[in-house]
Structure 1
Amino acid sequence: MARSSADDLELRRACEAIIDGGGGKQKVVLSIRVAKSRGVWGKAGKLGRHMAKPRVLALTTKAKGQRTKAFLRVLKYSGGGILEPAKIYKLKHLSKLEVVQNDPSGCTFMLGFDNLRSQSVAPPQWTMRNKDDRNRILLCILNICKEILGRIPKVVGIDIVEMALWAKENTTAVSNQLSAEDGRDASAMIQSNAQVTVERDLVSQAEEEDMEALLGTYVMGIGEAEAFSERLKRELLALEAANVHSLMESESIIEEVLQGLEVATVCVEDMDVWLGIFNVKLRHMREDIESIESRNNKLELQSVSNKALIEELDILLERFEIPAEHEASLTGGSFDEDNMVKNIEACEWLTGALRNLEASSLDPCYARMRGIKEKRAELVLIKCTFVRRASEFLRNYFPSLVDLMLNDKNYFSQRGQLKRPDHADLRYKCRIYARLLLHIKSLDKNCLGPLRKAYCHSLNLLLRREAREFSNELRAGTKVTRSQIVWLEGPMPSNQTSNADSSTVSEAYSKMLTVFIPLLVDESSFFAHFMCFDVSALAPSDACADTDKAVSDGINECTPGKIVAQGNDSAELGILNECLRELLDGLQEDFCSIVDWAYKIDPLCCISMHGITERYLSGQKADTAGFVRLLLDELETRISMLFSRFVDDACYQIEKCERNARQMGVLPYIPRFAILASRMEQYIQGQARDLIDQAYTKIVSIMFVALERTAQIDPKYVDIVLLENYAAFQNSLYDLANVVPTLAKFYHQASESYEQACLRHVSMVIYIHFEKLFQFARRIEELMFNVAPEEIPFQIGMSKVDLRKMLKSSFSGLDKIINAMYRKLQKNITAEELLPSLWEKCKKEFLEKYGSFVQLVVRIYPNETVPSVIEMREALSNL
C-alpha cells in the first residue's frame, strides 16, 4: 500500500509554519492532500475530475483557557508551488458529513457548515487518493467533534460500523509507523483514542466480553442448529413447570391475603356511606350561608343606590329650577342700559342650563328621561323668546342712534366750518350691548345676520352724510383759480402762478384721506368685533381711545387695523367683507368728486394725489378691512385714468401742431414741454416715479416723431429744423436731465440727433462751395478699386493738367468762398446762438475732408503741389 500524505512530516511542518508561524499556539492534528471540485445541490452530477484543484486540508486545535477550539484549514498552492492559506472553517459549525454517492470509488465527500452566508452555492467536494485516506480524515474529524465539542455531525453515505472496523484494523499499523518516523507519539494516541471512541459508540468492551462468553457457552457441544433449538425448547418447558409448582405451594398465603382484602373492602364501603351523608349536610349548610350573604349584599347595594339616587335627583332638581329673577329678565324684561347687568346674568344662566341639559353632559340613561326632555324644550322656548326680543330691540336701537345724529346738524360740517366726524359717543352706546351680542351668538348664531344688516345700513347713512358734507365744505373752502394748461394756445403760465393756484387742491385731497381713511378702518375693525366675527385685530391704530372701557365691555377697539380670520376660517372672513361692503358702499362717490374737482382745476394735481393715495394704500396690508383697500384702489385707478387723459390731450396738441406747422424755427411744444416737466417735478415730491416717467416717455416719444415729420415738410430745410429743435430741447431740459433719469435718456437721444443733423447740414454747405474739389477726390477713390494708383493720372479727366485746372478754379478767390460758406450757414439759421458752434463744426469737417484730399493727391500725384492743410486752416481762421 502506498504511503499516505497524512504521514508526510514535511507537509505537516510546512502547514504548522504557515498556520501558526512557529509560535506553537495551534497544533496540527492531521494534514493531508486532497483534490477540490464543485458539485450541484440536490443533483447527482458527474464528478468533474478535470476541474479538480490540489489542496491541503489541515485539522488544528487551539487551547484558549480551559476551552479548546478546533478548525479545518484549507491551504492552496501558489504559482511557485508554495503553500498559502485559502480558507478556514470552525468545526463547531459542522452540521453534516456526507460521502458523495455518485463517485464509484467512494473517495469523495462534502462537509456542510450551518453558518455559510450563501446556501444556494454548492459546497466544495473533497476527493481523496483512496478509501484509507478518506476514512482516516473523516474518523479524525468525528473524534475531534466528539472529544472537544461533545457531539458529532450527521453522517450520510457511510456505515459507522464500517468505520469502526477499519479503525480497529488500521490502528496498530498507523501508530507503529508514526512512532517509528517521529519520536512524538501524539498521532498514535489520537488513533488509539479514535478506536476506543468509535467502539464505545457501538458497544462497550465489557458488553463485548460478555457476549463472547455467552456465545462460547452455547456453541460448545452443538453440532447443528436444530439440536440447539430442541435443547432451548426443553429448557423453556422446564422453567415454566418450575414456576407453576412454586405458585401452587403458596395457595394458603394467597387465601389469607384475599380474606384481608374482603374485610378492607367492607370498611371502605361503610366509610363511603358516612362520607356521603356528611357531604349532603355540608352542601345544605353551604346553600343556607350563600342565601344569607346574598340577601345581605342586596340590602347594602339597595341602601347605597338609594343614597346616590337621592343625590342625583337633588342635582336634577337644581337644574330644573329656573330662578325667578332670571325668568323675568328672559321673558319680559327691559333692555335699557340700567337692566343690562341683569339681562347678561340671565343669559349666562340660560347658556349654562342649556349646556348642562345637553346629551353630551348627561348620563345616557338621564338623557332619555321625559322630565329632561320637557325641561330642555322649556329652556329652548325661553331662549327663542329672549333672542327674538333682543334682536327686535337692537334692530330698532341702531337706526334710532343714527337718526339722532342725522337730525342734529352740529354733527356735520357747515359753511365755513369743517368738522371731523366723531363716533366716540356712538361706539360707547353700542358697546353697552356688546356682551349681549356675544350671548345672542352663542344662543342662536343665525340671528346675527339681520342685526349686522341693520347696523350696516344705519351707519352707512351716517358715513355717507358725513363724507358728503365734509367734501362739499372742503371744496367750498378751498380758494383757487382755475388754470388750464394749453400747449399751443394762449400765453405760457409761469411756474410761480401755477404752484400758488394748485397747491391747496392737493392739500384738500390729502385732508379728505387723512380724516376718513383711518375712520373707515376703525369702523371696520369695530364692526368686526362688535358683531362677533371670529377674527383677531392687529396693527394698532392711532385712533384708539377708551382702552380700559373697551376691554371691560368685551370689545377691544384699540386694535383696528389688520383683520384676519381665526383658524383660517375663510368663510367667516368672506361674510365679514360682504358686510363691510354694505357698511361703506357709496362713500367712493364723494372721494371721486374731490378727484374730479382737483383735475378740473389743475390736471397736474393728479401727480400729488396719486402719490398720496399710494402712501395710504401701502399702509393697508392685504388683510386690512377689505372695502377700504378697494376704495383706495379705485381712487388710484381713477387718478391714473385722469392723468392719462391729460397726457393723451397733450399728445393730441403735439400732433395738431404738426399738421399746422408752416414756419421755420423752434416748434412751440419744445419749450412748453420744459415748463410742463418742471411743474410735474414740483408735484412729485419724492413719490414713486412710475406715473410721471410713463408720461415723460409717451409725450417725448410723440414730440420726437412729430418733429421728424415736420422737418420732412420742406426737404431743403430738414436738417436746419432738426438741429434747431433738438438744440432747444437740450437747452431747456439741461437742469432737469441731470436729476431725472428718464429725461436724461431723452436728452442723450436729442444730443445724438442734433450731432447727426449738424453733420449733414455742414457737409451739404461744404459740398456746395467746393463741389469740383470733392468730386475729383471721390472719382480718385472710385478708380482706386479697379486701377493701380500709378495708372490713375493716365485716365481721362484725371491727368495732372486736369488736377491743376481743378485746383485753380476751386481756390481762386478762397476768401470769398469761405465768406459765402459762413453766409450760407447764417442765412438759414433762425437761432443765432447756434451759429458759432455750427461754424466751428463746419471748419472742422472741411479740414478733415481736405486733409483726406491732400493725402490722395500726394499718393497719386507725388510731384504736384497743392495748398497744405495748415494753409487752409489759416485761411479759415482769418474770417
Structure 2
Amino acid sequence: MAKSSADDEELRRACEAAIEGTKQKIVLSIRVAKSRGIWGKSGKLGRNHMAKPRVLALSIKTKGPRTKAFLRVLKYSTGGVLEAAKLYKLKHLSKVEVITNDPSGCTFTLGFDNLRSQSVAPPQWTMRNIDDRNRLLLCILNMCKDILGRLPKVVGIDVVEMALWAKENTPAVTTTQRTLQDEPVETAVTGSDMKVSVEKELVAQDEEEDMEALLGTYVMGIGEAEAFSERLKRELLALEAANVHAILESEPLIDEVLQGLEVATNCADDMDEWLSIFNVKLRHMREDIESIETRNNKLEMQSVNNKTLIEELDKLLERLQVPSEHAASLTGGSFDEAHMLQNVEACEWLTGALRGLEVPNLDPVYANMRAVKEKRAELEKLKATFVKRASEFLRNYFASLVDFMISDKSYFSQRGQLKRPDHADLRYKCRTYARLLQHLKSLDKNCLGPLRKAYCSSLNLLLRREAREFANELRAGTKASRNPTGWLEGSTGSSQSGNSADTSAVSEAYAKMLTIFIPLLVDESSFFAHFMCFEVPALVPPGGGANGNKSGSNNDNGSDDDLGIMDIDDNDSKAVKNSVDLVALNESLRDLLDGIQEDFYAVVDWAYKIDPLRCISMHGITERYLSGQKADAAGFVRLLLGDLESRISLQFNHFVDEACHQIERNERNVRQTGVIPYIPRFATLATRMEQYIQGQSRDLVDQAYTKFVSIMFVTLERIAQTDPKYSDIFLLENYAAFQNSLYDLANVVPMLAKFYHQASEAYEQACTHHISMIIYMQFERLFQFARKIEDLMYTITPEEIPFQLGVSKMDLRKTLKASLAGVDKSIAAMYKKLQKNLVSEELLPSLWDKCKKEFLEKYDSFAQLVAKIYPSETFPSVAEMRELLASM
C-alpha cells in the first residue's frame, strides 16, 4: 500500500511553518482535494467545481488547563508555498457526512454550526483512499470526544465499521503513545510516526459485547446470502402485516375524526363568507370616510388661502398708496432749508416704495399685475419730476452762492492786505443739501453729472479769482532786489556776484502761496468728492489738513466741514474704492481746479526774474508738498505740484544753460593767461546754491554742477590748445585755482568732491608735462646721451657699449663737460624759465620743489647708468647735485 501523506514529515514541517507564531501544534496533516458538488445527481462536473489541492491540518493549542482543537485548511501559493487559508474550531463541528454519490466513499463534508451562510453548500473533501479518509475522521472524532466531551453527528458511515477498521489498524500505532486519560492531548497525538490516531475506543466494552452477541445471531445466515436474504424478507412482510392490522383496527376512530373535520370545514366556510361580506361593507365605509375628509381638507385649505390672500392684498394696497404729504413735497414743495427735512423724508419714502415694487422685494406673481405696473409708472413719474425740480434748484443755488461771494470784494486779497480764502460759510450752506444729493443719486445716478459740472464751473470761478488776487498782492507786497542772471559773465566782476542781495523773501512768498492754497485745494477736492457722492476713500483724515500745513483761523472750521460731509451717510466710511468713480472724480476735479495753475506759474516766473537761484529753494518746497499728497482722489493737486516742479526745473535749467553759454564765450579770446574769471565765480555760485538747497533739491543742484564743471573743463582744454607753448602753465594755474576755491565745499558736497579730484589729476598731469619740458630744455644733451645707452643695451652687452660710435668714453666726457660745466647756471635758468610765464606766483614754490625732485630722479638714473657702463669715469654724484639744488 502506498505511503499516506499523513506520514510525510516535510508536509508537517511546511504546515508548522505556515502557522508559525500562532502557538499551535500540528497533530495531523494530510493532502485532500477540495470541490463543491463534484458528485452531483448527474454525476458530471459542474461549472467552477474543479477539484483543488488542499491540505487539512488538525492542531491544538494549550492555554493553562484548557485545550482548544482546530481544523486548518491550507492552500498552495503561486510559488508552491503552503499558506493558511481558513480556520475552523472543532467545538463548532456538528456533522460529518460521507457523500453517498461517490462510489469510492472517499468524499465527505464537515458541517459547522457557526457558519454565516448556511445556504451555500459546504466544501467537499476527497481523500486518496478509504484508509486516509478513516484515518482523518477517526482523529477528528477522537479529538472531539477527548477534548470537547461530545461527538458530532455521523452520516453515511457505520460507526461499527469505523471501530472495526480502527482495531485492524491499531498495531500500526506506535507503542510510545498513551491514552488521553494518562497524558495531555498534545503528548497523546503528536507522534510523527503515528499511523492512525486511535487513543480511545469509539464504543464502550459493554456496548461492544452486545453488538457481538447481536452479530452472532446472524453468523449462520451471513454465510448463506440467499437464505439470509429470504429471512429478512419474511421478517419485513410480517412487520408490514402487523402494521396494516393495526391500522384496520383504528378505522372507527379515523371515521369519527374525519366527520369532525368535515363539520369544522363547513363552519370555516360559513365564517369566510361572513368575513367577505363584512370586508365589502368596511371597504365602502372607508371610501366614504376618505371622501368626507378630502372635502373637509379642501374647505379648510380654501379658508386659509382666502385669509392669506386678504392679508397679502392689504399689504400690497399699503405699498401702492402714496401719502398725500409726500406727494405734495415731491411735486411742488419748496427747497428752502426749513422744508428740507420734509423733502428728505419724501425721498426716503419714494426710494423705499420703488425698491419695494422690484422683483426681489416683491413676489414675482405681483410684478405683472396691472395695478402694480400703473403704480410703478406713477412713482417713476414722481421721481422724474422731483429729480428735475431738485437739479434745477441746485444748479441755480450753486451759481447764486458763488456770484454772491465774487460780488463781495471783502472775500479777496486787497492792496496791502493778503486775505486767506475762507469757504467755511460756503460749505455750511452746501451741507444743507448733502443728504438731498445722496437721495438724488439713489433715485437717478445720471442726474449727478450735470450737477457736478454746474458746481465745478461755479466754484472754479471763485477759486481762480481768489488765487489771482492773492498772487498779485503777494508779488506786490514782496520787496526784494533783483539779482543778475549772468553769474558767470566775463563782464561782471566777481565782487558783484559775492555781494548779491538777500532774496529769501521771494521763496518765502512762493512757500506762502503753497501753504495757503494747496491745503485749500485738497480740502476742496475732499469736500467735493463726498458732497457729490463719489465712492472713494476719505482724502483728509478728520481734524487735519494736507501735509500738516493747514493753519490759521480757518483750521477748525475746515475740519468741521470735512467731518460733516463724512457723517452724511454712516456707510460712507465703509465704501470700497471704485475705479470708475475715481476716474470720474479726477475728471470733475480737473473742471473744478483747472486754470488756477496759471497764478502759481506767474509766481514762479516772478521769482525767477528776481533771483534765478531761488528756483532751488522753490523746487525743495514743491517736492516736500508733493511727497505729502498721496490720496488718489487728490490727483489734480498732485498734477499741479508736478507741473510746478517741472516749470521750476525748466526755469533753473534755462539759467544753467545761459551760464554755460557765458562760459563758452571765454573760448573766443585767442590769448588767455592766468586764471579765467568764471572759476572763482563758479565757487561763489556754488556756495550760494548750497545755501538755497532745501529738502530733496540735491539732485537738481548736482545736475547743475555736472553741467557747469563739464563745460568749464572742456572750455579750459580748448583755450589751452590755442597756444600749445603756454598750455601747460594755463591749465595748471586754472586747475589749481579750481581746487583752491572749492576746497571747503568739496569736503561736504560729494559731487563737488568728485570734480575736485578730477581737477587734481589734471593739475598733476599739467605740472609733470611742464616740468619735464623745462628740464629737457636745459639738459637735453645729457639725457639724450643716456637714452642712446639705454637703446644699445637692448642689443649688445654693457662691456661693448663704450666701443660704439657716439657713446665712447670721449663722447661721454664731452657730454658731461657741455652739460655739467656751470650746472648751477643751468639750474638757475630752469628756475627763471619756470617763473617767467607763471601768473600765479603762489604756485611757484610748489612747482620748483616738483622740478628739483623730477630733475634729481632723472639725474639719479643717469648716474647709475654711467657707473655701470663707464666705471672708471668720474662725474658729480647725486648727493653733490642734491646739495647744489638745496642751496639754490
Give 1:877 shift: 2.9
Counterpart of 1:163 (choices 113, 116, 132) is: 132
The letter of the residue matching 2:802 is: P
The answer for the alignment partner of 1:112 in structure 2 is 83
Instruction: Indicate the SS of the match to 1:603.
Output: coil
Q: Distance in 2 between matches of 1:558 and 1:321?
A: 28
1:777-826, Cα deviation, whole Å (9 max, x unpaired): 22222222223223322222333333233222222223322221111111
The answer for the alignment partner of 2:453 in structure 1 is 453
Give 1:723 shift: 0.6
Does the CA contact (< 8 Å) of 1:607 and 1:691 recur in 2? yes
Using a 3 Å threshold, how does the CA distance of structure 1 residues 262 and 636 change in structure 2: closer, same or farther? same
Does the CA contact (< 8 Å) of 1:526 and 1:557 recur in 2? no
The answer for the alignment partner of 1:430 in structure 2 is 430
1:630-667, Cα deviation, whole Å (9 max, x unpaired): 11112212222222222222223323322334222222
The answer for the alignment partner of 2:815 in structure 1 is 806
Q: Distance in 1 between matches of 2:532 and 2:64?
A: 90
The answer for the alignment partner of 2:104 in structure 1 is none
1:382-781 matches, cutoff 5 A:
382-486=382-486, 487-492=488-493, 494=495, 500-537=501-538, 539-540=540-541, 541-542=544-545, 543=550, 545-546=556-557, 550=561, 555-556=566-567, 566-621=575-630, 623-781=632-790
1:97 aligns with 2:75: yes
RMSD of aligned alpha carbons = 4.8
Number of equivalent positions: 779
Counterpart of 2:222 (choices 220, 223, 233) is: 220
Using a 3 Å threshold, how does the CA distance of structure 1 residues 510 and 98 change in structure 2: closer, same or farther? closer
Q: Distance in 1 between matches of 2:26 and 2:293?
A: 83
Give 1:531 shift: 0.8
Instruction: Indicate the SS of the match to 1:675.
Output: helix
1:49-128 matches, cutoff 5 A:
63=62, 96-98=74-76, 110-113=81-84
Unaligned runs of 5+ in 2: 30-47, 49-56, 87-108, 115-121, 137-165
The answer for the alignment partner of 2:40 in structure 1 is none
Does the CA contact (< 8 Å) of 2:782 and 2:816 recur in 1? yes
Using a 3 Å threshold, how does the CA distance of structure 1 residues 575 and 199 change in structure 2: closer, same or farther? farther
Instruction: Indicate the SS of the match to 1:746.
Output: helix
Counterpart of 1:838 (choices 847, 868, 878) is: 847
1:27-46 matches, cutoff 5 A:
none
1:175 aligns with 2:174: yes
Q: Distance in 2 between matches of 1:215 and 1:649?
A: 157
Q: Distance in 2 between matches of 1:253 and 1:729?
A: 158
Instruction: Indicate the SS of the match to 1:625.
Output: helix
The letter of the residue matching 2:514 is: L
Does the CA contact (< 8 Å) of 1:737 and 1:747 recur in 2? yes
Using a 3 Å threshold, how does the CA distance of structure 1 residues 314 and 622 change in structure 2: closer, same or farther? closer
Using a 3 Å threshold, how does the CA distance of structure 1 residues 264 and 403 change in structure 2: closer, same or farther? same
- TM-score (norm. length: structure 2): 0.76
Instruction: Indicate the SS of the match to 1:519.
Output: helix
The letter of the residue matching 1:401 is: L
Instruction: Indicate the SS of the match to 1:112.
Output: strand
The answer for the alignment partner of 2:324 in structure 1 is 324
Does the CA contact (< 8 Å) of 1:495 and 1:675 recur in 2? no
Instruction: Indicate the SS of the match to 1:358.
Output: coil
Give 1:536 shift: 2.0
1:218-257 matches, cutoff 5 A:
220=222, 223=225, 252-257=252-257
The answer for the alignment partner of 2:159 in structure 1 is none
Q: Distance in 2 between matches of 1:199 and 1:550?
A: 119
The answer for the alignment partner of 1:858 in structure 2 is 867
Unaligned runs of 5+ in 1: 33-41, 43-57, 71-90, 101-107, 116-141, 148-152
Q: Distance in 2 between matches of 1:523 and 1:99?
A: 92
1:547-584, Cα deviation, whole Å (9 max, x unpaired): 8965885535999xxx9994342222222222222222
The answer for the alignment partner of 2:336 in structure 1 is 336
Does the CA contact (< 8 Å) of 1:96 and 1:155 recur in 2? no
Give 1:349 shift: 1.8
1:815 aligns with 2:793: no
The letter of the residue matching 2:858 is: K
Q: Distance in 2 between matches of 1:472 and 1:66?
A: 123
The letter of the residue matching 2:341 is: V
Q: Distance in 2 between matches of 1:312 and 1:554?
A: 41
The answer for the alignment partner of 1:123 in structure 2 is none
Does the CA contact (< 8 Å) of 1:674 and 1:732 recur in 2? yes
The letter of the residue matching 2:75 is: L
Q: Distance in 2 between matches of 1:569 and 1:765?
A: 80
The letter of the residue matching 1:111 is: L
Does the CA contact (< 8 Å) of 1:608 and 1:684 recur in 2? yes
Give 1:172 shift: 4.5
The letter of the residue matching 2:566 is: I
1:829-868, Cα deviation, whole Å (9 max, x unpaired): 1111111111111111112222222222222222332222
Using a 3 Å threshold, how does the CA distance of structure 1 residues 174 and 589 change in structure 2: closer, same or farther? farther
Q: Distance in 1 between matches of 2:565 and 2:196?
A: 102
Higher relative contact order (CA 8 A, sep 6+): 2
Instruction: Indicate the SS of the match to 1:747.
Output: helix
Does the CA contact (< 8 Å) of 1:435 and 1:553 recur in 2? no
Instruction: Indicate the SS of the match to 1:567.
Output: coil
Q: Distance in 2 between matches of 1:63 and 1:747?
A: 107
Give 1:194 shift: 7.1
Instruction: Indicate the SS of the match to 1:535.
Output: coil
Once the two structures are overlaid, the 10-residue window that deviates more, 227-236 or 842-851, is: 227-236
Q: Distance in 1 between matches of 2:27 and 2:73?
A: 20
Give 1:257 shift: 4.0
Q: Distance in 1 between matches of 2:573 and 2:493?
A: 53
The answer for the alignment partner of 1:131 in structure 2 is none
Using a 3 Å threshold, how does the CA distance of structure 1 residues 613 and 555 change in structure 2: closer, same or farther? same
Using a 3 Å threshold, how does the CA distance of structure 1 residues 188 and 256 change in structure 2: closer, same or farther? closer
Give 1:481 shift: 3.4
Using a 3 Å threshold, how does the CA distance of structure 1 residues 114 and 570 change in structure 2: closer, same or farther? farther
1:239-388 matches, cutoff 5 A:
252-279=252-279, 282=282, 301=301, 304-388=304-388
Using a 3 Å threshold, how does the CA distance of structure 1 residues 877 and 189 change in structure 2: closer, same or farther? closer
Q: Distance in 2 between matches of 1:69 and 1:816?
A: 138
Using a 3 Å threshold, how does the CA distance of structure 1 residues 433 and 557 change in structure 2: closer, same or farther? closer
The letter of the residue matching 2:174 is: S
Give 1:195 shift: 3.9
The answer for the alignment partner of 2:139 in structure 1 is none
1:791 aligns with 2:793: no
Does the CA contact (< 8 Å) of 1:478 and 1:508 recur in 2? yes
Give 1:242 shift: 7.3
1:273-326, Cα deviation, whole Å (9 max, x unpaired): 544554555556555655665565556555555544444444333323322221
The letter of the residue matching 1:813 is: G
Does the CA contact (< 8 Å) of 2:4 and 2:132 recur in 1? no
The answer for the alignment partner of 2:837 in structure 1 is 828
Instruction: Indicate the SS of the match to 1:527.
Output: helix
Identity %: 64
The letter of the residue matching 2:716 is: L
Instruction: Indicate the SS of the match to 2:360.
Output: helix
Q: Distance in 1 between matches of 2:726 and 2:429?
A: 81
Does the CA contact (< 8 Å) of 1:63 and 1:69 recur in 2? yes
Q: Distance in 1 between matches of 2:795 and 2:201?
A: 126
The letter of the residue matching 1:731 is: N
The letter of the residue matching 1:426 is: L
